[in-house]
Amino acid sequence: MTEQAHRFTFDQQHALNIASRDLEKEFEGIFNAATIERFLHTSYDQFAPGSTVTQFLPLLAARFARQRLTALARVEDKMNDGRPVVLFLCVHNAGRSQMALGFFRHLAGDRAIAWSGGSEPGQEVNPAAVAAMEEVGIDISSEFPKPWTDEVVRAADVVVSMGCGDACPIFPGKRYEEWTLDDPAGKDVAAVRPVRDEIEQRVRTLLSELDVTV
Show which residues are catalytic.
90, 164, 168
Neighbours of 112 (CB within 10 A): 22
| Residues 6+ away with beta carbon under 8 Å from 200 | 103, 136
Residue type, 204: R
3-class secondary-structure state, position 183: coil
Spatial contact of 196 and 187, defined as CB atoms under 8 Å apart: no
Query: Using CA atoms, how far apart are residues 175 and 156, in angstroms rounded to an integer?
Result: 9
Answer whether 96's CB lies under 8 Å from 184's CB.
Answer: yes
* 49 CB neighbour count, 10 Å cutoff: 6
| 172: helix, strand or coil | coil
